[in-house]
Amino acid sequence: MQRFATGTEAALALRPDHPLYCFRPEVLKEDARQFMALFPGETAYAVKTNGEPMVLKTLVEAGVRIFDVASPGEFAAVREASPDAEMLYMHPVKAQSDIRLALETYGIRVMSLDHEDEIAKVLRIVRAMDLDPASITIFVRLQTKGHAMYELSKKFGAAPGHAVELVQRLDKIGFRVGLCFHVGSQVEEAESYELALKSADWVRNRAGVELVGLDVGGGFPATYGSSPNRKPVHVPPLTELMGQLRDNITEWGFDDMPLVAEPGRVVVARAFSLIVRVLLRKGKRLYINDGIWASLSDSWTGKITLPARFIPDPARKTRKGDAENIVAFRVCGATCDSVDILSRPFWLPETVETGDWIEIGHIGAYSLSLRTRFNGFYPDDFVEVTTPFGDEGAPDGFASLETMAD
Ligand SMILES: Cc1ncc(COP(=O)(O)O)c(C=O)c1O
């Protein structure tokens, strides 16, 4: 992989006409290590967030040895990155053949579920393989309430009363039982975790079963930008959020059992930026060579304002307008689909033109993993970059809308 000090340097040297991902392995290691240092338990990286081999390999180098996986594709990717990494199969609804594969081929012994039919599926395979249920840990996933960019409890999680029944049933069969939750991705309030812990405590007390662990899921927020014309969303910094989470864990009496977290976004977001090219400027619209069916769907559905840096093409000798004047451009994606228009504008100098580049920062989470081949577009070019996106400043143009808190 070619290596550059900054994204700007890569853009000017390569003049990429297709989207170019800038991978920052040292940033990834730093963020993974920071999380592991702050969380008072085991860290299981959520592979769905970005399961690229370069990411998994770098995380292993950083000391991550547990991975949250959801499918056979993720089991194989983790095994490829590390022959002895532990995997937690935390998707609550699983294909029977995938459960068998997990237990038989990959030696996975930790799973989650939120329904009795799922217990029946797991038990069928456990009996067929003649395994002792006591060798398997099952986390019952609880429904939670809280504020996050992505609410996940609409789809998964048992209500507290139901969770009590599931815990008791699993215990009676002989499985080791724990509780887990996911407060939603990109949480907006630290209290979301406290509400979930309170609910977990209620279930523990009613169930009267000795729990073997608590998995607090993901949700830890990454740093993004904010729009100058909107009220800034207050995202608690990780140190603050983790301090509060640690206090809440003690307060609710979960500090005496093994804890796990499944962070995704907060670990990998900062590790990638994406250089896109303006294929066409039409008034206040920019048509770029990426979009919601490639790297930008998370920002579209989550209405996330990504930080962006303008990289003007030096080959263009004349420009109209005032480079100091930052204006909002509507951004249209590369495909012919008319919904492929970003939900948030890019704020850039009014001099931006066809042929210029924009480096979009903090794009490592839910970008590469959500790419489709729609319309035949599939960004897959990479370079390595050594300077963190936020450290480069705004050399020729302007960082739009950045509130790079850290
Ligand atoms: C079960 C599970 N664990 C972990 C994650 C990672 O969440 P985040 O990226 O918000 O940290 C997700 C995301 O959807 C998930 O579904």
Residue 154's alpha-carbon distances to 45, 144, 146, 238, in angstroms, are: 23, 9, 12, 25
Beta strands in 242-312 (DSSP E): 259-261, 272-282, 285-288, 308-311
Sorted by sequence, the CB contacts under 8 Å of residue 319 that are 6+ apart come out as 312, 351, 353
Sorted by sequence, the CB contacts under 8 Å of residue 208 that are 6+ apart come out as 168
Say if 382 falls within a structural domain.
yes
What is the structure's pLDDT at 166? 98
**Closest by Cα among 38, 5, 11 to 308:** 11
**How far, in Å, is the centroid of ligand 1 from the Cα of 87?**
14
Query: Which residue out of 68, 155, 270 has the highest number of ligand 1 atoms within 8 Å of its CB and is therefore the one to mutate?
Result: 68
> Residue 264: CB within 6 Å of ligand 1?
yes
- Domain harbouring 171, CATH code: 3.20.20.10
- Domain harbouring 314, CATH code: 2.40.37.10
Instruction: Give the whole-angstrom CA distance, residue 54 versus residue 313.
Output: 30
Same domain, 220 and 194: yes
Same domain, 178 and 102: yes
Do 44 and 260 meet the contact criterion of CB atoms below 8 Å apart? yes
- State the pTM of this model: 0.95
Q: Which residues are catalytic?
A: 336
Record the tokens describing residue 376, joined without a space.
């035949």
Same domain, 254 and 106: yes
Same domain, 222 and 118: yes
Say if 63 falls within a structural domain.
yes
Say if 150 falls within a structural domain.
yes
**Which helix (DSSP H) or strand (DSSP E) does residue 302 occupy?**
none
What is the structure's pLDDT at 153? 65
**How far, in Å, is the centroid of ligand 1 from the Cα of 233?**
21
Say if 113 falls within a structural domain.
yes
Same domain, 326 and 361: yes
If 0-12 CB within 10 Å is exposed, 13-18 middle and 19+ buried, where does residue 53 land?
Answer: exposed
User: Could you give the number of structural domains in the chain?
Assistant: 2
Same domain, 235 and 312: no
What is the structure's pLDDT at 108? 98
**Closest by Cα among 240, 222, 383, 394 to 312:** 394
Query: Which residue out of 68, 262, 268 has the highest number of ligand 1 atoms within 8 Å of its CB and is therefore the one to mutate?
Result: 262
Per-residue model confidence as pLDDT tens for the chain (406 residues): 999 999 999 999 999 999 999 999 999 999 999 999 999 999 999 999 999 999 999 999 999 999 999 999 999 999 999 999 999 999 999 999 999 999 999 999 999 999 999 999 999 999 999 999 999 999 999 998 766 676 666 789 999 999 999 999 999 999 999 999 999 888 888 889 999 999 999 999 999 999 999 999 999 999 887 777 777 777 888 999 999 999 999 999 999 999 999 999 999 999 999 999 999 999 999 999 999 999 999 988 888 888 899 999 999 999 999 998 989 999 999 999 999 999 888 989 999 999 999 999 999 999 999 999 999 999 999 999 999 998 887 655 555 544 443 3
Do 204 and 169 meet the contact criterion of CB atoms below 8 Å apart? no
Rounded to the nearest 5°, which phi and psi values hold at 116?
-65, -30
**How far, in Å, is the centroid of ligand 1 from the Cα of 146?**
15
CA atoms within 13 A on the CB side of 362: 25
Do 78 and 294 meet the contact criterion of CB atoms below 8 Å apart? no
Say if 30 falls within a structural domain.
no
> Residue 141: CB within 6 Å of ligand 1?
no
What is the structure's pLDDT at 403? 43
Same domain, 65 and 191: yes
Last residue of a domain, one of 224, 244, 262: 262
Same domain, 59 and 187: yes
Instruction: Give the whole-angstrom CA distance, residue 205 versus residue 232.
Output: 40
Say if 307 falls within a structural domain.
yes
Say if 312 falls within a structural domain.
yes
Last residue of a domain, one of 262, 287, 305: 262
**How far, in Å, is the centroid of ligand 1 from the Cα of 115?**
19
Instruction: Give the whole-angstrom CA distance, residue 351 versus residue 284.
Output: 11
Same domain, 156 and 50: yes
Same domain, 291 and 357: yes
Say if 206 falls within a structural domain.
yes
The domain in which residue 216 lies consists of: 40-262
Same domain, 225 and 370: no
**Which helix (DSSP H) or strand (DSSP E) does residue 142 occupy?**
strand 137-142
